[in-house]
Structure formats: C-alpha cells, structure tokens
Amino acid sequence: MRVGRIPYINCFPVYGGVDRGLVPLDATLVDGVPTALNRMMAEGTLDVSVVSAVEYARDQARYLLLPDLAISCDGRVQSVMLFSTRPAPDLSGQRVLVSRSSMTSVHLLELLFEHVWKASPEFVPGDAEADAIASGSGGDVAARLVIGDAALMLQSAEHPVARSHGQAYPYTYDLGEEWKRWTGLPFVFAVWVAQRSTPVADALKVHGSLIASRDWGLAHLDELAAQAARATGVPQAECRHYFDGLDWRLSLPDLEGLTEFLRRLELAGRVPKGKLAFLPASARGR
C-alpha cells in the first residue's frame, strides 16, 4: 500500500501519531504537493491519498471518499491567500499568478473573481512556494495566489519572507473567509480518497490508522504547533492559532460546503456532474 501525504504543516495533525510510531500504518508514505498527489492518484501509483477536492470531483468514478477525514475551515483558513497590489475588484486585465500546487484553490479563486469581485484578470500559472517568493520569481504580476506554509510565512511579521516581500502586497484576501462570506458555508480544500480498485479491507486498515493518528493529533495540537514552528520559522503561537482555524473531520456542514462548491463548479462546466461516494464500512460490500 502506498499512501500520499502533503508535506505542509496542515497535515501534521493527521499524520502526527503515525510519524511518532504511536499509531501503526502498514503502508509506505509518499510526500507531494497537492497537484503531485492528484497526478499520482490519477495514474494509479498511490492506493490512498489526501487530494484536492477538485481532483475527487474530476474523476469520481475512480475514487471513494474516506469518511471523517478532510482539511476544511469555517471562515479564515490563513494558508490559502491572495496577496495583491490593488483591490481584487480592480484586477481586470491584470496578471495574477496562481500556484501550480493546488487545483482546488485555483478553482475557488476563479469563482470568487467571477461572482464576488466581478473582475477578469489574466491567470498565470507559477510557483508560489516560499523560495519562489523570496527570489521574486513569477515576473511582473499584480497579485499572487499563495497556499500552504508559504502563505503563513508571508503573513508572519517575524518571518524573513514577510519582512522582505510582505509590504509589496497591501491587499490580502483569505479565500476561506471569502467563501464563508459569500455562501455562509465551510470550505473543504482537501479530502482523503482510496482507489476503487484498492481492496476495501486494505483501505479500511489505512483509514483506521489515519483516524487514530488524527485523533492523537487533535489531542496534541500544542506539540504539533511547536513542530510546525520549527519547520516553517513561523512563531509557535501563530501556528497554534492556524491549527485552531482548521478541521480535519468531514462533518455534515463540511459536506454541505463541499457539495455547494462542486455544484458551482458543475454549473461552470469545470467538473462533471456526480455525487459523493464513500468507502464502505466493511469489506462485505465488495
């Protein structure tokens, strides 16, 4: 079994127990940014993985959702941010760099520009990791979509990346907050899925380990925040505050938000019409 893991700190609470040897996982962990894991799942080289919500919607016939596992927010997310030189409604015709690392964030940004900000920028795919921001790569753009740890670094007043580049972007938009203001619903950025071809019994074992590891993580967020601070250079208190704004359970309100997001993408012709399908509770269904 090969199981995908995003190396960003937002996955620390799900894999914390596994990483410390406290929860057994009979599988090989494979790290990758969201788009890389999406590709590996689409190619069939991973059995179970966290993937962008859009990747699940794009190929629902291939995947089954793992219950009670997601990365979601109900308002501010802090790690999916548009950093801009001017107000978002004034970005029509302007170049906006969008991170190659996250399909869901890009689609959400497109919906916000179309329906909330009523603007039509030119989207330019590019790198938006911390090293890319620090080096100034991406060319002459009016705004950047930045996700993951890099977004936290760019907001942290004490981080070198923010000190050197944060002042270039006087306008910031938290996409989780913008979605909540627009729809009143939580937003699900990522879900865990299994290949439909993976034996259910094997997928259930992985699912059980991830749930146990997640439950350990939720009980040890202070410890994980300290680990996140060491990994990113963002102060521990800020990492802890970041964790407080996330949820790693796929609750009913999360499912409502996910369904609404996918409905809007269907209407826009960006994903095929489909429905949510979950891993069965036992292997008897196969």
Q: What is the pLDDT along the chain (286 residues), one digit of tens a residue?
A: 999 999 999 999 999 999 999 999 999 999 998 889 999 999 999 999 999 999 999 999 999 999 999 999 999 999 999 999 999 999 999 999 998 878 899 999 999 999 999 999 999 998 765 555 544 555 689 999 999 999 999 988 767 665 555 567 899 999 999 999 999 999 999 999 999 999 999 999 999 999 999 999 999 999 999 999 999 999 999 999 999 999 999 999 999 999 999 999 999 999 999 889 999 976 544 4
Domain 2-73+187-285 has CATH 3.40.190.10: yes
d(CA 197, CA 200): 8
Q: Is 146 exposed, middle or buried (0-12, 13-18, 19+ CB in 10 A)?
A: buried
- Sheet containing strand 95-99, strands side by side: 122-126, 95-99, 143-147, 80-84, 171-174
**80-183: same fold as 2-73+187-285?**
yes
Q: Which residues are CB-contacts of 155 (< 8 A; sequence separation ≥ 6)? A: 78, 81, 162, 166, 172
Map out the domains of the chain as residue ranges.
Answer: 2-73+187-285, 80-183
Helices (H) and strands (E) in the chain, counts: 12, 11
Strand partners, 124: 97
Sequence letter at residue 266: E
The H or E element that residue 99 is part of is: strand 95-99
| CATH class name, domain 80-183 | alpha beta
CA distances from 230 to 127, 130, 236, 239, 275 (A): 23, 15, 8, 10, 40
d(CA 151, CA 145): 9
